[in-house]
Amino acid sequence: MNIHFWGAARTVTGSMHLIEANGRRVLLDCGMYHGRRKEAFERNRNIPFDAASVDVVVLSHAHIDHSGNLPTLVRAGFRGEIYSTGATRDLAALLLMDSARIQESDVARVNRRRRKQGKTLFEPLYTEDDVVETIDRFVTIPYHRSREILPGIAVRFIDAGHMLGSTSVVLDVDAVGERRRLLFSGDIGRPGLPILRDPQTIGDVDHVIMESTYGNRLHEPADQAQDYLLETVRRCCDRGGKLLIPSFAVGRTQELAYRLNQLWHSGDLPPLDVYIDTPLGVRTTEVYRLHPECFDREMVQRLQTDPDGDPLGFDRLTYIKKADESRRLNDLEGPAIIISPSGMCEGGRILHHLIHHGGKKSTTILFVGFQAQGTLGRHILEGGREARIYGDPYPIRAKVRRAGAYSAHGDREQLVEWIEEVRETGSPKQIFLVHGEEQSSLALKETLEGRGFPSVHVPERGSVAEL
């Protein structure tokens, strides 16, 4: 058995690990890479192995940096099945369709400029047709059910507590009388996140591929998330400006809706309008309702006890679908909250809000998620006072805040707790740290070695580990 690390190796995005076992090939995740634009463009377009040679894909969760390049894989000749939970399939259908649309419209916009300049035109990475073909390949498996997906290779999903339907993937490989268990963490959530259950683990693990996004950092406690949000909203109201929250449409947006709902019903939220500006918003919330099997106990109770029966909505919260309604927010007077993707400001409607409101001193931009290197979100977070959007420069004069309490990823201590729990039934022989920027993965490696884990690696992109 071996693992070929093709993505999220010494970086955070583009999750993609190719497992070879029993003469078969299993691809864990096929995510979109975000980073410097030219590099991202090249890397996402070129699948680094023969797509047709992959037998099956196992998808840990629906986030685009894990699922976003599946249509490219299908386009490149992949003809197998894609295994995931039901919620992941449903969310991936929404996210991939949205991704195709954004890419088609972004490419059209860039091409208008290139045509004027006499340059060659770009093609979108994939289209809605490619997404339809991709979704057709999904086969869903519920949590905790072991299923043989190839001869001698069984998969089982346990809850990763990171987003609706998110999993850690357990691969049991039987090869000539020897059984080996590989655990792929996916993205590990934080205990105590609203809506979701806490991350789970499994024992008797031989090899681990583990995320390390926050391998060198501790979060502010999750219970401060509510207070920080409220404080930011109040300050924003005092300044009379907009509060822009770049947020991925699925997951963090529902968490924000849930928290704002609580603040509204407790009477703490100042009287202002809240807009969730993404065509995905309403549809995602509908998917949430279809998957109570993914909820924690509190969310199940709130479904019954919420004053208007909707823990993800309230009177002053508007979900915006249509582009002309979104454009109306450009001229909106007075304070308001606008939650809009993409979470790293790499596309989507948040770019228009940055163009129209980012240059005003009364605006606040609140980052509630991780900002990868090379993204516009990271640039603004690090104090960039000019944003290049669709090739043009725009000033950023808004106040910038980061809500550390909001991560959907475990911090260093929670990652260590997770792997310690795995070790309770015997130490894994090897641990591969992925899905973290280099210094973060290396720091976690040092921490784990300090705790006596024998063989901890931070693989380079393109490297192979023989197991």
Residues in touch with Zn ion (CB under 5 A):
63, 187
Nearer Cβ to Zn ion (71/165): 165
Least Å from the CB of residue 331 to Zn ion? 35
Q: How far is the CB of 162 from Zn ion (least distance, A)?
A: 6
Two tokens, residue 356: 């129209």
**Phi, psi of 429, rounded to the nearest 5 degrees:** -70, -40
Instruction: Answer for the pair 330, 324: CB distance below 8 angstroms, yes or no.
Output: no
263 with 311: CB under 8 angstroms?
Answer: no
In whole angstroms, how close is the CB of 201 to Zn ion at the nearest point?
18
Q: Which is nearer to Zn ion, 15 or 447 (by Cβ)?
A: 15
Shortest separation between residue 189's beta carbon and Zn ion, angstroms:
9
Q: Residues for the chain: how many in total?
A: 467
| CB nearer to Zn ion: pick between 161 and 279 | 161
Residue nearest to Zn ion (CB): 63
Nearer to Zn ion, 63 or 357 (CB): 63
Q: Measure the N-to-C terminal CA separation of the chain; round to a whole number of Å.
A: 6
Tell which phi-psi region holds residue 8, choosing left (phi > 0), alpha (psi between -120 and 50) or beta.
left
Measured CA distances, 13 to 61, 104, 376, 437 (Å) = 13, 21, 15, 9
Q: Provide, rounded to whole angstroms, the least separation between the CB of residue 161 and Zn ion.
A: 11
Nearer CB in complex with Zn ion: 63/207: 63
State the nearest-atom distance from the C-beta of 91 to Zn ion, in Å. 11
Which residue lies nearer to Zn ion by CB, 80 or 410?
A: 410
- Shortest approach of Zn ion to residue 32 CB, angstroms? 12
Judged by CB, which is closer to Zn ion: 187, or 346? 187
Q: Is 138 in a helix, a strand, or coil?
A: strand
Alpha helices in 270-389 (DSSP H): 280-289, 297-305, 323-328, 350-357, 376-381
Chain-centroid distance of CA 59 in Å reads 12
Q: Which is nearer to Zn ion, 66 or 75 (CB)?
A: 66
CB 61 → Zn ion: shortest distance, Å?
A: 6
Please identify, using beta-carbon distances, which residue of 95 and 150 lies nearer to Zn ion.
95
CB of 160 to Zn ion, least distance (A): 9
Strand 167-175, strand 178-184: pairing: antiparallel
Helix axes 280-289, 252-265, angle to 10 degrees: 80
How many Cβ atoms are within 10 Å of 443's Cβ, its own excluded?
20
At 158 the three-state DSSP class reads strand
- Tokens encoding 179: 């059984």
Q: Cis omega before residue 342 (within 30°)?
A: yes
Measured between alpha carbons, how far is 258 from 225 in angstroms, rounded to an integer? 12
Residue 3, both tokens = 């693992």
